[in-house]
Amino acid sequence: MLFDIQILETPLSVQDCTTFVTDESCGAIDVFIGTVRNQTKGKKVEYLDFEAYKSMAIKEMQKIAEATSAKWPVAKIAMHHRVGKLKLKELAVVIAISTPHRQASFEACKFCIDQLKETVPIWKKEVFEDGEVWVAAHP
C-alpha cells in the first residue's frame, strides 16, 4: 500500500508515519508536524477542539495523496490527523513523504499540508479563557 491515511482520536506517532514511508528506493523523507500553539493574535489558547467529517475527510486526503504522487516521484505518503480535544504542544497533524531525492520530498510535503488546509473537511475550534471561536469561519 502506497498511502497510510488516518483520522485518529488518540495521540499521533511521528515514528509510525516515518516507519510507514521508509522505502529502500528513497533517500529522503520529509515530515510536517502541526502542533497546538499557545496563542492566536495575542489571545491565550487553552486547548483546541478538532472535528472531522471523517468519511469525506479520508477521501479528500486520499485525493491529495494521489495528486501529490502525480506531481512528484513519491514512494509512500502517511497523513495522520487527530480529532477531539488537544492540549498545547500536542500533535494535530503529521505528514511524512518519501522520495528518491530530497528536493521532491520538501515540495511534495508542503503541497500536501497546503492542500489539506484548503479542502479536507476538518474544523478547529480555539478555546480561550474567555470564549471560543471556529477558526477561519468568519471574515
Partner 1 sequence: MTNTSAPFKILLFGITKEIVGSSTIQLELSEPTVGALKAKLRSLYPDLGTLNYLAVAVNENYATDQQQLRLGDEIALIPPVSGG
Residues that bind partner 1 (CB under 8 A): 34, 50-53, 55-57, 59, 81, 92-93, 113, 116-125, 134-139
Residue 1 or 136 with smaller CB distance to partner 1: 136
Q: Are 76 and 20 in contact (CB under 8 A)?
A: yes
Residue 5 Cβ vs partner 1, minimum distance, rounded to whole Å:
13
Q: Shortest distance, CB of residue 101 to partner 1, whole angstroms?
A: 26
Report in angstroms the alpha-carbon separations of 115 from 34, 79, 105. 14, 12, 15
- Least Cβ distance, residue 27 to partner 1 (angstroms): 27
Least Å distance between CB 7 and partner 1?
A: 10
The smaller minimum CB distance to partner 1, of residues 101 and 134, is found at 134
CB-CB contact of 86 with 9 (8 Å): no
Q: What angle do CA 21, 69, 7 make, to 5 degrees?
A: 55
Nearer to partner 1 among residue 11 and residue 139 (C-beta): 139
CB of 94 to partner 1, least distance (A): 11
Q: Which is nearer to partner 1, 21 or 92 (CB)?
A: 92
Q: The C-alpha cell of 3 is what? A: 498511502
Q: Calculate helix-pair angle for 54-71, 102-119, nearest 10 degrees.
A: 150
Which of 135, 78, 89, 138 lies closest to 112 in space, CA to CA?
78
Closer residue to partner 1, CB minimum distance, 36 or 104: 36
